[in-house]
Every structure is written in C-alpha cells, then in structure tokens.
Amino acid sequence: MTRRAWILLLAWVAGWLLPGWLCAQEDPGKAEVGKVKVTVYFATDGDVTASGPKAAVLATNIEKRLRTEQKLRFNHYRLLGEDIQPLFRSYENWAQPLKPSDEVLVRFEARSRPTQNATRLDLELWLSRKKILKTDILLEGDRPLWVLGPEWRGGRLIIAVSLAADKTPQ
C-alpha cells in the first residue's frame, strides 16, 4: 500500500471512531422515571371568596376525599394551583404549584428504583422559603400525601403530593 492510501485509510478509521469518543454520553441519572403532581387547595369554614378570583371549584370526588379525613374537613374548598414535574432517576426536582409565586415549593428526589405502581421519595415542603417538612414517603398510584398547611386568608392551605396520573414510573 502506498503512503497516500495509508493516510486515507487512517483518516477514514479516525473519522469513524472519534465521533463516538468525543460525544458526551447520556446521563442515566437524568432519565425520567415518572411524574409528580403537587396541588394546593384552600379550605375554609368562612368566606370562600377570600381565596381570590383565580381559585377554581373542586371536582366532587376530590372534595369527598378531603371530607373523609377529620383534620381536612371544612365547609368550602377551592383549587389554588398545581404543578406536574418529571421525576428523575437520581436528581432532585422542584415543583412550584402557585406560579409565579415561590411561597409554596416542594423538592423531591427518587430514593429507590420506582415500580409500576409506587415510588419512594425524599420529600421537602418549603413555605415562605423555610423548610417545614422533610420526609421519606412511599407514593402509591392514586393515593396522595395530604399536608395540612398554614393558615391563609381566614382558612387553611392543603398541599397534596401524588404520582401524576398521565405517566406512572416505569
């Protein structure tokens, strides 16, 4: 083989092999393994209009679920906001259900390999930039974690954290 043929062969092999070495690999920790939904409700026994004009009426089934728990039982409920965020295999994520306000934030991170119907999470609830709850929970299917939040406008905030129904962990 001539010198020119060797150079062309070497250039062809280098062009074929080097792009694989130079390309960044996918980070397996950033693989989306599910979605987490955070919802904020306003509950009161007084004037429901204190929740503001953007508050929405709840679906009947959600209102029934709230009334079954003694500590969450109020006369009136309104939906204030919700956020659905991806759950990464090994990275934390934040949900901000009252956008653009950062008064209610939820930080979550997968603790173990998720199954089809359940996910174990590290969960932190932040209100007014203060961490008020830190826990390790097991979220299952359609069973949210209900947190009775602080007093607000003559009522109470209720925060629900659940797996998003549109995509469960794989």
- pLDDT band per the 50, 70, 90 thresholds, residue 18: low
**pLDDT recorded at residue 39:** 92
Q: What are phi and psi of 158, to 5 degrees?
A: -125, 125
Say yes or no to pLDDT of 23 above 70: no
Q: Flag whether the pTM goes above 0.85.
A: no
Neighbours of 56 (CB within 10 A): 12
pLDDT, mean of residues 115-131: 86
The single-letter code of the amino acid at 107 is R
Q: Which residues contact 32 (CB under 8 A, 6 or more apart)?
A: 86, 87, 88, 89
- Reading the block at residue 98, the tokens are 């009252």
**pLDDT recorded at residue 22:** 53
Pick the closest to residue 117 from 53, 61, 59, 162 (CA basis): 162
Which range is least confidently modeled, 11-25, 62-76, 119-133? 11-25
| C-beta separation of 81 from 96 below 8 A | no
Q: Which residues contact 113 (CB under 8 A, 6 or more apart)?
A: none
DSSP labels, 35-81:
EEEEEEEEEESS-GGGG-TT-EEPPHHHHHHHHHSGGG--SEEEEEE
- pLDDT band per the 50, 70, 90 thresholds, residue 140: confident
Q: How far apart are the C-alpha atoms of 84 and 151, rounded to whole Å?
A: 24
Q: What Å distances lie between residue 79 and 54, 62, 63, CA to CA?
A: 9, 10, 10
**pLDDT recorded at residue 128:** 86
